[in-house]
Amino acid sequence: MGNLSADFLETKLSDAKNHFERALDCKHTEFDDLYPYMIEHPQFFWYKRYVAWSELLTIVKLSEELEMDWKTQFTVKQADYISSRVMSSRVLDEWYETIDSNETVS
């Protein structure tokens, strides 16, 4: 794969990650503009996150097919979630790294 293609795909992967994280944080995304009437529905944020997750998985799949190392843009835990492909409540709750609960606060 040429440098232009690799750079393009890395940018798309970064954009997809950002889109998913914005959806996770309930921030504005393109989905809000496409379906403004959905904001009134309780399922809206679930759909928004699902769309962003699907986009992320699609870009990761393309990266794998082109033999690009996509995992460098993610933590180990995030890469594991993506590899499992299922957007569970655990993914939503634990996407961001947190302080280990076993650590003591001094």
Judge contact between 11 and 62, C-beta under 8 A: no
Q: Is there a domain that residue 102 lies in?
A: no
Residues 35-83: tens digit of each pLDDT? 888 878 878 888 999 999 999 999 999 999 989 999 999 999 999 999 9
Q: Is there a domain that residue 8 lies in?
A: yes
C-alpha dist (Å) from residue 78 to 11, 72, 85: 18, 11, 11
Q: What is the mean pLDDT of the chain?
A: 87
Residues 6-44: tens digit of each pLDDT? 889 999 999 999 999 999 998 988 888 888 888 788 788
Q: Is there a domain that residue 36 lies in?
A: yes
Q: Is there a domain that residue 63 lies in?
A: yes
pTM: 0.82
Backbone angles phi, psi at 16, to 5 degrees: -65, -40
- Domain range spanning residue 16? 3-94
Q: Number of folded domains in the chain?
A: 1
Q: Is there a domain that residue 54 lies in?
A: yes
Q: Is there a domain that residue 50 lies in?
A: yes
Q: Is there a domain that residue 100 lies in?
A: no
DSSP letter for each residue of the chain: --HHHHHHHHHHHHHHHHHHHHHHTT---HHHHH-GGGGGSTTHHHHHHHHHHHHHHHHHHHHHHTT---GGGS-HHHHHHHHH----HHHHHHSS----TTSPP-
